[in-house]
Structure 1
């Protein structure tokens, strides 16, 4: 759930700062990208060197770096982050956050942040119970910030009670649980196909196409980021997924992909068929390598089973089925015919005539057409951005 997330970890002056070493390790282990920002007082409790070593990034403390003469741009940092965690959040920092007091880099970045902000208070029992602190916490929650409740136990003062910063494992669990249950596709099962298929001629040669699988993998990652449980059925490709909640099923031929899809389809809520599946496959496949003996050589081909049409015939009420149409002529007409004949909810049209669209590229240019023949055309974008556009169209149908 945190894989690929850009996370700012704000560390304040508290004895609980020692726990941030474990927190950074857990975030990095979850494959998040972590940028630590410390208040000046926090550096008295744990060294920036420790946290920079664990996060693999320089720790930021001041607006200006005297050694390099560079400026730590708090606005850019606030825009960069997907998540902002302040742990430990001292009483002093809670007061500054609640009242917009901006006297250090951490507070300037907090006030610039556009992402969800989590805060894990850490202080002595009486400080935590003080009406001023409780008022500040209520203010922060009214702003949309998310409280990670402090635990109860022995405190640095020797007292026993509430005020301990939540343990790093509990912080991770809280955040991942919150993310998973508040994403638009949480609880949805999504089936996606990607890449080419290879139709064997003999043990060495095959009929295939130039699909890299980049578009399908980008869609799978985006769907997973939106909370879906994704099954990705892929043909031969070197692509890898960035998100952890994706189950990958590798296939080779159109028949393999058909079998995998039909096994998964009935239990899925959304199916996006972006693979470039072969339309024809050899009638006979040689068990031995075919030798070059004659000046000409013919291969008899037969149609493969149309996977998209097969699934369209099986589609139940409420299930969403999305197809792709890669065309070179009569693009929109062909796409609409495919949409209607194969019982699709959406079809994603792209043309090899468009610059920046097609196989192997990192960009694509698409038009999405729905059942009412309403079309939305997009400019050329990265395939990750195209995946986000497709995902938003699907979400509009699913929720």
Structure 2
């Protein structure tokens, strides 16, 4: 009844457009049974005949987006403003054979859309109620080794456990992960970085050897720091609630910095191999390169050093702050710097020049040169140190220090 009502209330098209033998399958069925709400609808239907033609008819009827994802396996997608609906050809001679090829029992449940009947040959509903992930077969996991990592990801997202025999099988098959494109592995890791239980399951994946391929430098101490990262992020988020998102995704690079080699050049190679974006790599390298600045004895009182620190770190600072707190850098120092960073008018973290390069060329009567940048920097530092306070005193500063 719950599945029937869900389709009736949420399907973005008339259910009567579905053929007689049409099944809702996969994660959508699981999530509906779990009563997990989604702001964006993502449904998968399996049809024994003409899935692409069915998708095309629905898309045309509702002027929705339409694309053929896989002409060989007969998979097409219809895109609505708040929903993505995939239609796929049934694998095998029956829905039972189709379900038998899937990864875990909780994902091998189908709902006959017309007859209102649940097809559950592997007792996935029972496993849903128990909160466990159980494989359908060893061969199914081996056929697509990404399913190995997906087990930890789904356990994290659903707050489930992995059944012991299934977990032992995953561990036994872990070497097969090297046959999976890194882009696909990276996507599963992204889910783990961004969910509440992600750090726990990353730690468990490390124990089982599944992170060896992705993070060859990671050791137990580094992995254990993931919990500290979460605690640090939660502390900063609660203290600066209006400035940080209420989720686990904003500090992903701080977690990445825990798992990669602590040598920035080696870390860069690891992250490139994992197909991370330039921005993500830059964030991790910045964290690794500049966290050590915060351990310098005079840093907390040295405005010059703080100025150059923020010039180098920029908007990567929140991630760096999380990483630094997790690595026992002084909380007082982090809060001091966070106050500077949070203030858009702060001259150390967000400097606004008193003079322009053109002003300096005019007053010194010189052509463009690296000296101009040096003078602009020294003016800014003199300002934050209280030696000058406006344009006029900045000009006097130039005359006294750069004109002979």
TM-score for both structures, normalised by structure 1: 0.25
User: Which fold has the larger relative contact order, with Cα–Cα distance below 8 Å and residues 6 or more apart in sequence?
Assistant: 1
Structure that is richer in helix per residue: 2
Structure that is richer in strand per residue: 1
Bigger Rg, structure 1 or 2: 2
